[in-house]
Structure 1
């Protein structure tokens, strides 16, 4: 039996996304640490005097700290669930997308901007609901510090000569170890932490792909859109359109990523003491982050995210335009590689 179009697209897109994911994994680790650190306790001499101290500062400083303390392994924390998550994410996405597109096209009279948008949103919601546990584990593995396992306390020194320490509330040795400990100590709900902002992030497609189509028309002209990725001008036009649309969309929707990371990396223990989490929902989390850290915290790690997401998005969109040139208002679902 021949494979379906949706399964073929899923395999091709998963392969492309997986390759780019492995390449940019160190950037993902740096971004995650920058996003998550505000939710962890930091011990430092200056902090005891009432001054807020950041353990990780900027792209270069964070990369240097990770390399010094953990080496190359630290740069690839969370690679296991990252690899594990790509195929089911794309499989669910394209299966639901194709079915949803058929239904909406029948209901609303053929393929249209609305059909593609609604189908993409439904497919994105479905894949997020199914694979969210994998991405929670990935985020926790990336945010933790290896030194905590080798010390008597959970406070991990940022460097051998520094008086700054970050308190990581968990430590996992593998993907399975993380899943087991999360289930035993926090329950099944922990696997769906950060789900609300993750679903909110689906609005990314509503920003990126109208911009992508507009930029594409500007750079290559409407007459060239039906022709495939064959010319030099066409290639660079697609590249410019994908990069610019991704930068605009990421800038507009980035705060939800910080909120998602904070919700995913907080540990709620159901033993002694107050069991109420520090962050509770999107609104409460946003208020807490703003009150404690200011508006800049909503953009922690955004520069690193641009270095990670823009090339990955460009790679996927160029590949999609090359493999699946369609006259549709926009290419479906490539937003998922963001």
Structure 2
């Protein structure tokens, strides 16, 4: 197969896989984004107020120990905004996820091919460099779409009221912040490349072991249902580990994308969150993230592997 057909195969597989994952896990992403935002601290339904330093001026701030759960956020969205709000941002997500995954997997495949010629083939170093390059390219190209998606997910509404659609939201961002507004949070996305690297290094290692086990069991080397289930479990485990390690960048990225916020740069946001809310705030929404990302990554990677296998078999 020619290189152009091989790249198209990875583009198609990545795009289909990303679309399936985005639709299934959209409600969890909305909950996670709400949990990450600073606006959550302004919701009295979630936080009790603790008066601190009354002798020196009565400073009042939210109690960090009463952080809301994902179920509380879900209940609030359903009661105040309706079920449709659980799918806020799905439009730009669907517009962006197919090209995003397509770009990512195509870039990963091409980078892996190049790095295999430089380093020890299929080594951890190759996987790390390939994943890092693919994430850098994807984040740079897709940040405007993810910016609009985050703004839409953070927009609260009264049940029955009309919210901005994706085009209206994009137009508003451009009018109020210019082109720079579409790249808010990009530095945090670059910091999040570490999560992608960790995920793919673990996944590729587990995938290699699974393939060796499969070859030892079947002489023909054919894919079985058990092997795809194994790939799903490997993807879930690798993403779970990576998310727990690198999660704080997600909270910082959401804060940077908030409208009219006091958060300006990556380091300034990190310091501000730590000082005002404590280090626990960097892990707000982690549970919702794991519930969303683990099945999403399992679906995406296993669907990708399945489509690649089917297309390769027909080629």
TM-score range normalised by the length of the shorter chain: 0.7 to 0.9
2:62 to 42, 45, 52: 52
* Aligned equivalents of 1:286, 1:119: Cα separation in 2: 28
* Aligned equivalents of 1:53, 1:148: Cα separation in 2: 28
The alpha carbon displacement at 1:11 in A equals 2.0
Equivalent residue, structure 1, for 2:269: 285
1:252 to 229, 232, 245: 245
CA gap of 1:172–1:185, structure 2 versus 1, over 3 A, is: farther
Residue pair 1:246, 1:310 contacting (<8 A) in 2 also: yes
CA gap of 1:143–1:238, structure 2 versus 1, over 3 A, is: same
The alpha carbon displacement at 1:104 in A equals 3.5
The alpha carbon displacement at 1:59 in A equals 1.4
**Structure 2 portions without partners, runs of 5+:** 52-59, 310-315
Residue pair 2:18, 2:98 contacting (<8 A) in 1 also: no
Residue pair 1:228, 1:321 contacting (<8 A) in 2 also: no
Equivalent residue, structure 2, for 1:261: 254
* Aligned equivalents of 2:277, 2:82: Cα separation in 1: 30
CA gap of 1:281–1:73, structure 2 versus 1, over 3 A, is: same
TM-score by length of 1: 0.76
The alpha carbon displacement at 1:191 in A equals 0.4
CA-atom RMSD in angstroms: 3.1
Residue pair 1:136, 1:264 contacting (<8 A) in 2 also: yes
* Aligned equivalents of 1:48, 1:296: Cα separation in 2: 17
The alpha carbon displacement at 1:46 in A equals 5.8
The alpha carbon displacement at 1:98 in A equals 4.3
CA gap of 1:314–1:265, structure 2 versus 1, over 3 A, is: same
1:65 to 53, 71, 76: 76
* Aligned equivalents of 1:316, 1:278: Cα separation in 2: 35
The alpha carbon displacement at 1:208 in A equals 1.7
**Structure 1 portions without partners, runs of 5+:** 151-170, 268-276, 326-338
Equivalent residue, structure 2, for 1:273: none
Question: Is 1:20 paired with 2:24?
Answer: no
- Residue pairs, 1:172-321, within 5 angstroms: 173-215=164-206, 220=210, 222-224=212-214, 227=221, 229-230=223-224, 232=226, 234-267=227-260, 278-321=262-305
Equivalent residue, structure 1, for 2:54: none
Residue pair 2:112, 2:130 contacting (<8 A) in 1 also: yes
CA gap of 1:99–1:20, structure 2 versus 1, over 3 A, is: closer
The alpha carbon displacement at 1:235 in A equals 4.2
Equivalent residue, structure 2, for 1:82: 93
CA gap of 1:111–1:141, structure 2 versus 1, over 3 A, is: same
Equivalent residue, structure 1, for 2:312: none
Residue pair 1:101, 1:119 contacting (<8 A) in 2 also: yes
Higher relative contact order (CA 8 A, sep 6+): 2
The alpha carbon displacement at 1:136 in A equals 0.4
TM-score by length of 2: 0.81
